[in-house]
Amino acid sequence: MKARDFKGLLKAIGELSLGQKQRLKEELDGASDEAAVLSLIEGDGRAEHHCPGCNGQQLYRWGRMKGLQRYRCRACGKTFTALTGTPLARLRHRDQWLHYAHALQEGVSIRAAAMRCGIAKNTSFKWRHRFLQQPACEKAHVLQGIVEADETFFLESFKGRRHLPRPARHRGGNAAKRGTSAEQIPVLVVRDRYEQTADFRLSGTAAQDIEPILQPLLAPDAVLCTDGAAAYKIIARHAGIAHRPVNIAGGVRVLAGVYHIQNVNAYTSRLKGWMDRFHGVATRYLDNYLGWRRMLECLHADNLPLAYLALALGQHVHFQQQNAT
């Protein structure tokens, strides 16, 4: 805009009504939020881009697309932007992404997030699982020192399906049988004293179900702390690492003053208490919710929504792990 036109625009602001000024402020805020999102997507402009089609690096600029720099590959001719291939590709209303990231930070419901962002309920549902797709994959790959492991259980849920293999439960409901049964989905939670965390949905709780998942996580010098389940004794022996079982049923809580599973149990308690707000989580989306909680635990409670949005885009975020409140 030319300087003369801009001066005319500033002069016209004084003639706006209160409602028009509020509308103008909302538009400016939205433009500012979208600019912040675009800046986050493209970074500082020095990142190396690869063609999503052939992984080639012989690229040249090919105009712009919805505010983003578009590139074309010399080898295969495909065009793309920095958003192509990310979980948030093809989503609209980028001016509301930061607001939605803040809704994820607070753990509000799908309907509440939809009202905040001015989007439909179904759009809010789609956004939630697109935003959580990458955090669901971000978990510890190697655990060192004293490593605590334990299973927890979530009631199987067919929430969202039209046809159920059993009568519907309302607002989470309760299992038909007490204790563990086929209705309960086992989840292995593993955590070391550096607060590195990994969790996995299991098909069962026997050694052959847990070992292929747990053994690759354990460093050669790790000390495995668990309850008295025999499966972990077998896994520790096969891995050639020290094992310190805690006899919880016998009233033992700590061995030698340092070996216990209180950290992993405390994390599980926070996880399940936080999950209660959703009144039952569909089992097919359970991994996304586990990743959501890990994200909340890892990022500072006062982190800006940009950090949550960066994780949703698959960008590496430097953060110090601390317990979320």
Nearest of 315, 316, 322 to residue 299 by alpha carbon: 322
| Residue 245 lies inside a defined structural domain of this protein | yes
| H or E element, residue 146 | strand 146-155
The series of mean pLDDT values per 10 residues for the chain, 325 residues long, is 72 74 62 84 74 90 91 93 93 94 94 96 97 94 96 91 82 68 90 96 95 96 96 96 93 93 97 93 95 90 81 69 39
pLDDT of the residue at 45: 58
Report yes or no: 82 and 68 within 8 Å, Cβ to Cβ. yes
pLDDT of the residue at 322: 40
Domain that holds residue 188: 139-299
| Residue 58 lies inside a defined structural domain of this protein | no
pLDDT of the residue at 315: 83
| Residue 70 lies inside a defined structural domain of this protein | no
Cα–Cα distance, 205 to 320 (Å, whole number): 32
Instruction: Please count the structural domains in the chain.
Output: 1
Region of residue 58 (phi > 0: left; psi between -120 and 50: alpha; otherwise: beta): beta
| H or E element, residue 60 | strand 59-65
Nearest of 150, 145, 151 to residue 242 by alpha carbon: 145
| Residue 320 lies inside a defined structural domain of this protein | no
What amino acid is encoded at 3 in this protein? A
Structure-block tokens of residue 167: 């009568």
Cα–Cα distance, 65 to 45 (Å, whole number): 16
pLDDT of the residue at 321: 41
| Residue 75 lies inside a defined structural domain of this protein | no
Cα–Cα distance, 237 to 235 (Å, whole number): 5
| Residue 237 lies inside a defined structural domain of this protein | yes
